[in-house]
Amino acid sequence: MPRELELHPDRLLPVDPSVRGLARELYASVRGLPVVSPHGHTDPRWFAGNGTFGNATELLLVPDHYVFRMLYSQGVALEDLGVRNRQVDPRAAWRLFAERYWLFRGTPSRMWLDWVFAEAFGMGVQLCAGTADLYFDTITEMLASDAFRPRALFERFNIEVLATTESPLDSLEHHAAIRASGWKGRVITAYRPDPVVDPDFEGFGANLDLLSHLTGEDCRTWTGYLAAHRQRRAFFASMGATSTDHGHPTAATANLPASEAEALFGKIVAGAFTPAEAELFRAQMLTEMAAMSLDDGLVMQIHPGSFRNHNAQVFERFGRDKGADIPTRTDFVHALKPLLDRFGNERDLSIILFTLDESAYARELAPLAGHYPCLRLGPAWWFHDSPEGMRRFRRMTTETAGFYNTVGFNDDTRAFLSIPARHDVARRIDCGFLAELVAEHRIEDWEAAELARDLSYDLAKKAYRL
């Protein structure tokens, strides 16, 4: 007899009855606000083509590295889950997952998935070995219906705007198709130049050539390369982009004299560079991108500090984004100084900082954002996009940076169906935090009500210029 699946209306709200009452009221006032998703990794092709999503395994298991990394850590082979393996029976893969769903107890994946199961698919029983087939069949069947096509879900999810993330080498054809289709959903792109900025990126040299081809600039010269960036940024902006995104190993920035930057670029394009020179080039490019942002108004996001593809064997066999990216200690104080020395006091520049190193929240990031006009703090990111992670973020940043140097929530996900669940978790946690401040008489109830809306909706729109 499978157990009932039911999402409790008070989930994630503080336990104390009086605080929970306050939190409930705050949450009630924001739960229906539209979703603003200014940074994420959904596929624009979905909204362009509006096709169906396939089966449960393809949609919910194979692309979700949060899910399969946990199964992998407990001895399940990635190929048996269908990762880079089209031979696998999707139902068999789903069963492996369902039988081990208890591994996710206490994780945000469990909360997001239960939301998807209950709210998106209307499942009334819990996922376990005994319900694996019921789940697989029900979900797969529903996915074939029109109500589960991407645009229908976008509308049902009350998404006001959704940003995807593309390389400068992307033609943005899907974004063009969305615009040409007459559909009213607002899906915009964001400029993520890592493939042509990071000399260690796979295929970097070929990427430069492709960038030359796309722009008509000679991207093997420094001036041509920079011009190509400017051109692609303008093109991205024309396709709705309001932001750029930079995923570097560290937060290092540099501010070299033009001639040194050019000479460095020469080494980089020649492929004759040391690891330190690659790092210096990435560092210089953050400052160049800030300069361009000051010109074209694109908001700059820096996502530093992930050691990508830590598991060499998994990378070799299965490629990127397989749950083996591991955070590292990240310095911001020294790393950002060159950029800040040049642009730190620009009120028209907006740089949103993210971190995977929570020890920097109170020590470095809140003090930096609480001083420099150009800096804002992105929300708790990735591993920290979780109830406890969000609470730590608020507790460790608010007292120094305030709420208004933060930028609302990012779901940052490729798991489209979980987007409402993720925003819902953020709204619940923020309302709970605000309710605690009210209960301790640190802010008043009317302030909490304003803040609940700011954190759920307004700050994201403002920070990302949406």
The answer to whether the CB of 198 falls within 8 A of the CB of 248 is yes
Asked if residue 86 binds a copy of itself (CB under 8 A), the reply is: no
Helix (H) or strand (E) holding 159: strand 159-163
Considering only the stretches 16-24, 133-141, 262-270, 289-297, report the one whose residues sit in contact with a copy of itself under the rule CB under 8 A: 16-24
Looking at residue 221, the DSSP 8-state letter turns out to be S
Q: Could you tell me the smallest distance in angstroms from the CB atom of residue 18 to a copy of itself?
A: 7
Looking at residue 3, the DSSP 8-state letter turns out to be P
Asked if residue 56 binds a copy of itself (CB under 8 A), the reply is: no
Identify residues 331-360 at the interface with a copy of itself (CB under 8 A).
Answer: 331, 333-334, 337, 340-341, 344-345, 347, 356-359
Identify residues 197-256 at the interface with a copy of itself (CB under 8 A).
Answer: none
What is the Cα–Cα distance from 381 to 304, expressed in whole angstroms?
A: 11
Q: Could you tell me the smallest distance in angstroms from the CB atom of residue 102 to a copy of itself?
A: 7
What is the Cα–Cα distance from 426 to 42, expressed in whole angstroms?
A: 19
Helix (H, G, I), strand (E, B) or coil at 215: helix
Q: Which of 45, 308, 310, 453 binds a copy of itself (CB under 8 A)?
A: 310
Identify residues 311-330 at the interface with a copy of itself (CB under 8 A).
Answer: 311-314, 323-329
What stretches of 191-331 adopt beta strand conformation (E)?
A: 243-246, 299-302, 306-307, 326-327
Q: Could you tell me the smallest distance in angstroms from the CB atom of residue 166 to a copy of itself?
A: 26
Considering only the stretches 40-48, 242-250, 294-302, 401-409, report the one whose residues sit in contact with a copy of itself under the rule CB under 8 A: 401-409
Asked if residue 398 binds a copy of itself (CB under 8 A), the reply is: yes
What is the Cα–Cα distance from 275 to 285, expressed in whole angstroms?
A: 15
Asked if residue 362 binds a copy of itself (CB under 8 A), the reply is: yes
What is the Cα–Cα distance from 24 to 11, expressed in whole angstroms?
A: 10
- Write the DSSP string, 18-71: HHHHHHHHHHHHHTTSPEEE-S----HHHHHH------HIIIIITT-HHHHHHH
Identify residues 279-308 at the interface with a copy of itself (CB under 8 A).
Answer: 307
- State which residue, 8 or 184, has the beta carbon closest to a copy of itself: 8
Q: Which of 54, 89, 102, 145 binds a copy of itself (CB under 8 A)?
A: 102
The answer to whether the CB of 294 falls within 8 A of the CB of 261 is no
The answer to whether the CB of 332 falls within 8 A of the CB of 353 is yes
Identify residues 111-130 at the interface with a copy of itself (CB under 8 A).
Answer: 111
Identify residues 365-384 at the interface with a copy of itself (CB under 8 A).
Answer: 366-373, 375, 383-384
- State which residue, 129 or 214, has the beta carbon closest to a copy of itself: 129
Q: Could you tell me the smallest distance in angstroms from the CB atom of residue 399 to a copy of itself?
A: 4
